[in-house]
Chain A
Amino acid sequence: MNKTVNQKAWFLVLPVLLLVAFSAVIPLMTVVNYAFQDTFGNNKFFWAGLDWFQEMLESERMWSALGRQIAFSAIILAIEIPLGVFIALNMPKKGFWASFCLVLMSLPLLIPWNVVGTIWQIFGRVDIGLLGYTLDAIGVDYNYTQDFYAAWITVIVMDVWHWTSLVALLAYAGLQSIPDAYYQAAKIDQAGRWKVFRFIELPKIMGVLMIAILLRFMDSFMIYTEPFVVTGGGPGNSTTFLSIDLVKMALGQFDLGPAAAFSIMYYLVILLVSYVFYTVMTNLDKRDGH
């Protein structure tokens, strides 16, 4: 077949190009700019090549922040995904209580990040917080400002509290879309509860679950506000995740070059993981097909 060549068609993509340029490419390029240059002030820059990247790749500080970040994302995914699915499975399917549960579940999602941080920061305080005070009163040694484990547990519980709803709501939507006939057929075939989950519910919600995992991964991998408000990255560096470390480096120490190089690598990691997820997701349906 002959294709018609019409160069004017380029004008049709121009608005999108402009939009993307201003919203993404140009801001990103300023970061790229910093990543390859150095300055001693007076707005004079000189070429630094890959020095900043090399420095960051050899930086103990960045690797340990990355390690904490991966551990954090892995832990909250391992808790939120199964817990969210479990909650979705046990939510009422229709009637007043279904709506009630939906509203209840969406409440945490409506609270701004820094408010969530503040809530837990106060909630966990040993002197005035309900949680901290109670734990202290029953003899549990809990102090998130001093104890590594207490800090981690607080941050993780906070994230689970804030975001499990999202997983639950997505899984719930997936479950609601399964036609009744599947459950009826399973009864006829005498499949037990586990088999119903394994062979009907899980395959049917796999699509939305992948989206939930992707969203939760990206969000948790970029987490900043909540742990920063609660622990400020401490005690020591124990809850200093990548974003927190990056902000410290860029705005605290004003090391713009290394911070920019770091940002780009950070961005590439997220892009890579998201791409892998996307590929897996789109192939999920085709996998056993033709």
Chain B
Amino acid sequence: MAKITLQNLAHSYQPNPRYEDDFALKELNHDWVDGEAYALLGSSGCGKSTLLNIISGLVTPSQGRILFNDRDVTQAATSERNIAQVFQFPVVYDTMTVRDNLAFPLRNRGADASYVRDRVQQIATMIGMEATLDRKARGLTADAKQKISLGRGMVREDVNALLFDEPLTVIDPHMKWELRTQLKSLHHEFGHTMIYVTHDQTEALTFADKVVVMYDGRVVQMGTPQELFETPAHTFVGYFIGSPGMNVLDAKVNGNMAVVSGTEISLGNGYGAPTGKTEIGVRPEFTSLSAGNDGLPVTIKRVEDVGRHKIVRTDFLGTEINVITPEGTNISPDMNRVVFDPAGINIYSNSWRVASKAA
């Protein structure tokens, strides 16, 4: 178990990167606190897997350093780092039995036979495969194989960190939930540092203590699920987390007022005069329909009833604004305005959140 520190880390798959766009992973300083469970969330191609592979030593970064408990391991081979990693698609040793597959990492480290036997039994119980222990891994279903991969990742107790690279992609939804729960309980039991890469926000939010959101090779925000929901630091976080994502509208902001296409909106807090491209972001949860005269004039395009609430898709001068209303609210034709709850409004300048100045 270890604290993992990334210093000025950046990576490019090109031999001589010159421009910022050449980097798959842009310069980054980050501490992964020992024993915490992190989720690394972002869309495909944002550098999540690159970051993970740099930590496990499968990729050597173009610049910067990686420290495990203050020891520099930047150039150290994967085997020296004592890391467990589970990949997106199942990797099993076909010719071995399930038992030998699970025992493989332990035996390679020269663990003694009785310990291996007990530990394998324990892991098999955890992934629900005791019955198939003596079968060859060849010919098992994809999710059984992925469970073996997970088991092999968890079998070593002394690892510095456990890395998961979208491990539940091939698993069916019911089993997904169960395995995620088991991973969580494993985390409570052993307190490994865990980093869990995913592009599925539900998975990220349920698994992790802290969620790290990446966008375009950069960490844009790290925080608890609640922080990501209430105060997205970047418009991407707003879009990406939440279903549907945050409404983002171009606005002119001055003090505690914003002007969106000629309509004034009161912000509740003062923001001075932010420069650059300014936008306001409001989650659909803080947006409501109104029949009054204030708010933004919209036309309702459609209403989606998802069971626990209704999502109203509206059109505001060509921009979509989504509204979430509780189940059972009546939506009448004269509701042609949307209003924002000031508590849920965030201001963005060049896509980054602007903190409010104390009023």
Instruction: Report chain B residues within 8 Å CB of A184.
Output: 53, 58, 85, 87, 91
Instruction: Report chain B residues within 8 Å CB of A60.
Output: none
A16-24, A132-140, A187-195, A247-255: which lies at the interface: A187-195
Interface string of A202-242 (1 = CB under 8 A from B): 01100000000000000000000000000000000000000
Interface residues in A127-160 (C-beta closer than 8 Å to B): none
Most buried by B among A181, A185, A199: A185
Instruction: Report chain B residues within 8 Å CB of A188.
Output: 56, 78, 83-85, 105, 153
Main secondary structure of the interface of A (DSSP, over half): helix
CA distance A184 to B94 in the complex (A): 16
Size range of the interface on A? Answer: 20 to 34
Whether A191 lies near B84 (C-beta < 8 A) is no
Instruction: Report chain B residues within 8 Å CB of A182.
Output: 91
Whether B108 lies near A189 (C-beta < 8 A) is yes
Whether B108 lies near A288 (C-beta < 8 A) is no
Whether B94 lies near A203 (C-beta < 8 A) is yes
Instruction: Report chain A residues within 8 Å CB of B89.
Output: 179, 181
Residue of B nearest to A187 (CB): B78
Whether B79 lies near A187 (C-beta < 8 A) is yes
Q: Is residue B5 contacting chain A, with contact meaning CB distance below 8 A? A: no
Q: How far is the CB of B90 from chain A (nearest CB, A)?
A: 9
Interface size on B, residues (CB 8 A): 29
CA distance A188 to B58 in the complex (A): 9
Specify which of B87, B93, B96 is in contact with A181 (CB 8 Å cutoff).
B87
CA distance A191 to B101 in the complex (A): 12
Q: Is residue A289 contacting chain B, with contact meaning CB distance below 8 A? A: yes
Q: Is residue A200 contacting chain B, with contact meaning CB distance below 8 A? A: yes
Interface residues in B104-139 (C-beta closer than 8 Å to A): 104-105, 108-109, 135-136, 138-139
Whether B91 lies near A199 (C-beta < 8 A) is no
Q: Is residue B192 contacting chain A, with contact meaning CB distance below 8 A? A: no
Whether B91 lies near A185 (C-beta < 8 A) is yes
Whether B149 lies near A290 (C-beta < 8 A) is no
Q: How far is the CB of A93 from chain B (nearest CB, A)?
A: 16
Q: Is residue B152 contacting chain A, with contact meaning CB distance below 8 A? A: yes
Whether A187 lies near B139 (C-beta < 8 A) is no
Interface string of B137-180 (1 = CB under 8 A from A): 01100000000010011000000000000000000000000000
Interface string of A278-290 (1 = CB under 8 A from B): 0000000111111
Q: Is residue B63 contacting chain A, with contact meaning CB distance below 8 A? A: no
14 A-B pairs besides A188-B56, A188-B84, A200-B93 with CB distance below 8 A are A179-B89, A179-B91, A181-B89, A181-B91, A184-B87, A185-B85, A187-B77, A187-B78, A188-B105, A190-B78, A199-B104, A203-B95, A287-B138, A289-B136
Instruction: In the A-B complex, list the 7 residue pairs whose CB atoms are closest, starting with the nearest.
Output: A289-B139, A288-B136, A185-B91, A187-B78, A189-B105, A190-B108, A199-B93
List 16 A-B pairs, Cβ < 8 Å: A179-B91, A181-B88, A181-B91, A182-B91, A185-B152, A187-B79, A188-B56, A188-B105, A189-B108, A190-B79, A190-B108, A203-B94, A203-B138, A285-B139, A288-B136, A289-B139
